Chains A and B, each alone.
Chain A
């Protein structure tokens, strides 16, 4: 599902440098990425999703060489193939739960909002346990409920990949386990691949594989 070869990325105005010679994730795998802050975990997600370009090496995601896509193509690729779950949920405060879930369909022409999509959004919300909160605003929800909404938003376009950037970082221990269960079950149901950045080592045994970002820094120093 993901294949990175000879990636060399750096920010022109800083000393950060990410060097990945070979990195692969198979379809349906649930991979946790760990590493100290500033080691480039989020940068990796941004590179994989085409938010930033490296210009050096190749990044293949779901069979597409992201590096070769034009700006608009990368955006369409992203919204069609990748679902994002953020640490701070990043819900839109002026929209209710339903509108938040279908938001990707309203901000891009690559996705078409149909009654069927709305029906699917409702089913998804019910599966995740927020079916009775569709009319509520995001600010009226608990942290756990907010993350459930964010998961629904990420999964609705049926992405091949789900990127979770410290998705449980702002949750209490009880909610962490629940949200991870929901995320894993949903990813399984949708036959998607999960790449999760986390600092929480307690959760690592639940993933198929754990990638320590320090190895890429070591590769750099080699």
Chain B
């Protein structure tokens, strides 16, 4: 007990040395263990999401970009496809398509343009409010609502694609009508809107004052039998309300409107095989992929990198342990005078060794406690950390 007391006194007297030693020991333990925790969590998140998505249809190109954008709402937008792709799948009668248009953001959270089927497919349930019913409405993932402090009845502005996009997409003021229950998936980070609302954000669907009824001639540049050319002065709505919803209309062929991907849910294994076969043609503009296979490939690479990291951590760990041993050896040399004094007073060499061992034990205990605390934190927030570091 006295040895522990004396060791503790020495440790708190030499605070900087103690903090340095504790930090070194903690790092040696925390780094590989937290990396292991995070990788396991990322594997769980990536795989579970991929396993629940049977097939994904998108433009030919990077399968990884397609999966990361469609399943994890990654910033990298794959090459776009059109609504025709959805119609083709529907027409085949082999599968149910769920279109996705994930391109824009609202206060750094991805806007997921889709249909109501997506909610059923991902088994997303409302915590409060109601589902999407009208153009310009949005339903928020749990994290979005929590972070932005929004609830049904509030509104949320979409963000321009870039700050320099002055002539491009105008922000759309969306009405929050519902908040989803936490699902511990990337859906917690999504701002869900109807596909048409996503197109409104892009400017493909828009609403403005009725040009047939305007009294101000400066609002009209040209009027003839084919139609009316409005001047830039004409009021465009940036919020969809019951009063102006009827003025919103499509321009161009709706079948050519863009999508980032289509989740394809085949009727059965046979339908899946047939569908996949249809997109194997080299000249096909689209590809149909199995997300699980893509993610397996990604994980293989991650674990290959992890092995390298493990080796690096092992070497750094060994070097740190050697440095720690050196520190302890130097400490004994520095304390030689104290050791000689207490030996002269009547202390045994065994007790002196016991004093030093207690000091090491206290440092290891402190490091273990800090390590445990950090690992607990990593474990609690692993889901968010993984989404933030590896997936988003």
Q: Which residues of A pack against B, CB within 8 Å? A: 49, 51, 72, 75-76, 78-80, 84, 86, 90, 92-95, 99, 103-108, 110, 113, 137
Contacts and interface: CB of A to CB of B under 8 A. Distances in A.
Top 4 nearest A-B pairs (CB, nearest first) are A79-B346, A94-B13, A107-B347, A106-B2
B367 to A, nearest CB: 20
Interface in B343-375: 343-348, 351, 355
B347 A75 contact: yes
Contact of A76 (B9, B344, B346): B346
Interface string B1-39: 010011001100110000000000000000000000000
Interface of B: 2, 5-6, 9-10, 13-14, 337-338, 341-348, 351, 355
A167 to B, nearest CB: 14
A104 B13 contact: no
A96 B337 CA distance: 18
Interface centre among A92, A99, A110 (most CB of B within 10 A): A92
Given A106-B2, A106-B5, A93 B13 contact: yes
Interface centre among B5, B341, B343, B344 (most CB of A within 10 A): B344
Contacts of A76: 346
Given A75-B346, A76-B346, A107-B342, A90 B10 contact: no
Contact of B346 (A90, A94, A95, A104): A104
B290 to A, nearest CB: 65
B21 to A, nearest CB: 15
Contacts of A105: 2
A156 to B, nearest CB: 11
A153 B218 CA distance: 102
A93 B9 CA distance: 10
Contacts of B348: 72, 75, 108
Contacts of B342: 103, 107
28 contacts: A49-B344, A51-B343, A75-B348, A78-B344, A79-B347, A80-B346, A84-B345, A90-B337, A90-B338, A92-B338, A94-B10, A95-B6, A95-B9, A103-B345, A104-B345, A105-B2, A106-B2, A106-B5, A106-B6, A107-B342, A107-B346, A107-B347, A107-B351, A108-B345, A108-B347, A108-B348, A110-B346, A137-B13
Contacts of B351: 107-108
A94 B345 contact: no
B341 A90 contact: yes
Interface centre among A51, A80, A84, A107 (most CB of B within 10 A): A107
A203 B383 CA distance: 77
A99 B342 CA distance: 13
Given A92-B338, A94-B14, A113-B2, A107 B345 contact: yes
A92 B10 CA distance: 10
A113 B1 CA distance: 11
A80 B346 CA distance: 9
Contacts of B355: 107
B14 A107 contact: no
Contact of A86 (B2, B14, B341, B347): B341
Given A79-B347, A94-B10, A95-B9, 12 more contacts: A51-B343, A75-B348, A78-B344, A78-B345, A94-B14, A95-B6, A104-B345, A107-B6, A107-B355, A108-B345, A108-B346, A110-B346
Contacts of A137: 13
Contacts of B338: 90, 92
Nearest to A153: B345
Contact of A94 (B9, B343, B344, B347): B9
Contacts of A79: 345-347
Contacts of A103: 342, 345
B6 to A, nearest CB: 6
Contacts of B6: 95, 106-107
Contacts of B344: 49, 51, 78, 84
